[in-house]
Amino acid sequence: MKTIKGPAIFLAQFISEQPPFNSLDSICQWASSLGFKGVQLPSLDKRFIDLQLAAESQTYADEVKGKVQTAGLEITELSTHLQGQLVAVNPVYDSLFDGFAPKALHGNPKARQEWAVQQLKYAAKASQNLGLTAHATFSGALLWPMVYPWPQRPAGLVEMGFTELAKRWLPILQTFDECGVDVCYEVHAGEDLHDGISYEMFLDKVQHHPRACLLYDPSHFVLQCLDYLEYIDLYHERIRAFHVKDAEFNPSGRQGVYGGYQAWADRAGRFRSPGDGQVNFKAIFSKLAQYDYPGWAVLEWECALKHPEDGACEGATFIKDHIIRVTDKAFDDFAASGVDEAKNKALLGL
């Protein structure tokens, strides 16, 4: 068995114009001071990493890695959540998702998608140059507006959507394979890969590509009323990244899963800081240890109530206290009597 690595923190929600959150050096020093051992790096802000340069220059990649190591940290994974989203966008979301791409590409979905694909390919090579083996991203969504449709979906629409999604991702998966890096899709509302069945549909379309792996985040499954523990039993062989994020679901006679168009603080289902919600993290860490999860436990702060800096400070301790240092012996080894074939036969009456 493997001991999970951590604690680590996803930096996306903490980056700002204010120190210490406005440069790689200072944000890493801040994370280290809280007790974190790793950072998951978003890849769209060049103050923290120039993705293309990290892909094309080993020297630059080493410099980025060195800055993180100077703070006593490791890079756990790079993240292309926003670029991955743009690999597949339903036209209804075109104007909303333009903000994830450079201004020169706004209003040009074809050019935006080509840019996103190239970003993912840069991420594969950059990950290789940084010595990483896993990468965090989203799948994008062509079908999400049809997730609970009225009128009903036309026959063949879902099949066509997943066929197209796979067509767009297969060249990216191949690039990651060449670089020795797993693509870890965060299964998430708003993505075509939003639960186990949709992931399986995609996996079939990409011929069960060995790099089409998973980022496990139980908070999204609490909000879907999905069994997030059985999910680990089903897909543990594909789980290569892990976000530690809590959630709670408190339906009432007035609202349920869909949230009634309310802001996060007023929804029946809302994200919380680790330990403040309903996720059974003791069981999750136990299952991941049992199944030899090879990666990091990474805090993702998205709480409707708590200040992010408090969530980060508490989260480092929370993860540290939940990581199970796996045993290298069985608890009843002291009673072992060795192998005695003759004795075994006698006990069985043979």
Full set of structural domains in the chain with CATH: 5-348 (3.20.20.150)
DSSP 225-294: T--HHHHHHHHGGGEEEEEE-EEEE---SS--TTGGG--GGGSSEEEE-TTSSS--HHHHHHHHHHTT--
SS3 category, 14: coil
Global confidence as pTM: 0.96
pLDDT at 337 over 90: no
- The pLDDT assigned to 153 comes to 95
- The pLDDT assigned to 332 comes to 79
Are 9 and 30 in contact by the 8 Å Cβ rule? The answer is: no
Q: What is the mean pLDDT of the chain?
A: 97
- Which DSSP letter does residue 140 get? -
Going from the C-alpha of 312 to that of each of 275, 302, 306, 319, the distances in angstroms are: 12, 10, 10, 10
How far is Cα 181 from Cα 172, in angstroms, rounded to an integer? 11
How far is Cα 200 from Cα 168, in angstroms, rounded to an integer? 17
Looking only at the bridges linking them, the beta strands covering 212-216 and 296-299 are: unpaired
pLDDT at 132 over 80: yes
User: pLDDT-derived band of residue 331, with 50, 70 and 90 as boundaries?
Assistant: confident
Are 217 and 187 in contact by the 8 Å Cβ rule? The answer is: yes
User: pLDDT-derived band of residue 100, with 50, 70 and 90 as boundaries?
Assistant: very high
